[in-house]
Amino acid sequence: MKDIATIQRTKAILERHGFSFKKSLGQNFLIDLNILSKIVGAAELSEVSGVLEIGPGIGSLTEQSAKRAKKVVALEIDQRLLPILDDTMSPYPHVKVIHGDALELDLREIVEQEFLNEGIEDISVVANLPYYVTTPIIMRLLESGVKFRSLVMMIQKEVAERIGAKPGTKAYGSLSIAIQYYAEAEVSFIVPKNVFIPAPNVDSAVITLRMRKEPAVQVKDEAFFFDVARASFAQRRKTILNNLTNYIGKEHKVELERSLHEAGIDPKRRGETLSLEEFARLSDTILPLKNS
């Protein structure tokens, strides 16, 4: 059988099922086998691997994962795609499609039932994510408590660059910190617009997140650590002292300045220059000001 991800086969499948794209769901289907091969290659799948996919579309990437993995579970929000996936995935009995929203489904329960109960412990996410919910989905995966080995995802190029950014760069921000706290991030390769139908307005990138066994830094209050990072980038041109004063409260400015010095951070620095370690030290040092 011919692969799904060719322009001819994709169009034939869509026509046969009378499918029309929904812009609101960010549907862009891949039609380049070389790109798909590189995505599953980045995931380093084997015959003992389990794959969780979000937004399988008509199954182009699902099919390539299924050729290498022991089991693939795909979460699809669009009910209209279920009969198409029944059709395209019929040669792959080890693929299961679950209808639902990845932001609402219980990911831990799905992984427990579909993978762990079947003795599959090497679990990765391999997905072409809808751009409009990229960040919420990635954070949901990272915060789910599931022990994924890696997350290999096609996302908007600009977001991929922000995720993998280093301190001192323009792209570095609270998203970089939040994701690098849980995983080592690497932009694997860039994907041009013309390998999708319909073509998106922007270029894409495949990012690989290798999950850490422990968070990159130890902090006393994880939620506060993330809040401090977000607040530090509220107005990028402002100093860390000014941004955090707006967050903690003007009445604590003197204590805040003292705490910054105590943490070994110059109050005149900007948030984009601080490393994860410095944000961890800072959030622990100013934690007493949180409820004061």
Binding-site members for S-adenosyl-L-methionine are: 28, 30, 55, 76, 101, 128
- Is 198 within 8 Å of 7 (Cβ atoms)? no
β-pair type (183-191, 204-211): antiparallel
Distance in Å from the first CA to the final CA of the chain: 66
- Is 226 within 8 Å of 247 (Cβ atoms)? no
What are 290's two structure tokens? Answer: 């949180």
Dist CA 15 CA 140 (whole Å)? 34
- Is 64 within 8 Å of 95 (Cβ atoms)? no
Is residue 190 classed as helix, strand or coil in its secondary structure?
Answer: strand
Annotated binding site, which residues?
Answer: 28, 30, 55, 76, 101, 128
Dist CA 5 CA 11 (whole Å)? 10
Q: Is the peptide bond before 192 cis (omega within 30 degrees of 0)?
A: no
Burial of 154 (C-beta count, 10 Å sphere; 0-12/13-18/19+)? buried
Of the candidates 149, 156, 139, the one whose C-alpha atom is nearest the C-alpha of residue 69 is 149
Of the candidates 37, 91, 97, the one whose C-alpha atom is nearest the C-alpha of residue 68 is 37
- Is 164 within 8 Å of 176 (Cβ atoms)? yes
Amino acid at 45: L
Is residue 281 classed as helix, strand or coil in its secondary structure?
Answer: helix
What are 143's two structure tokens? Answer: 């915060």
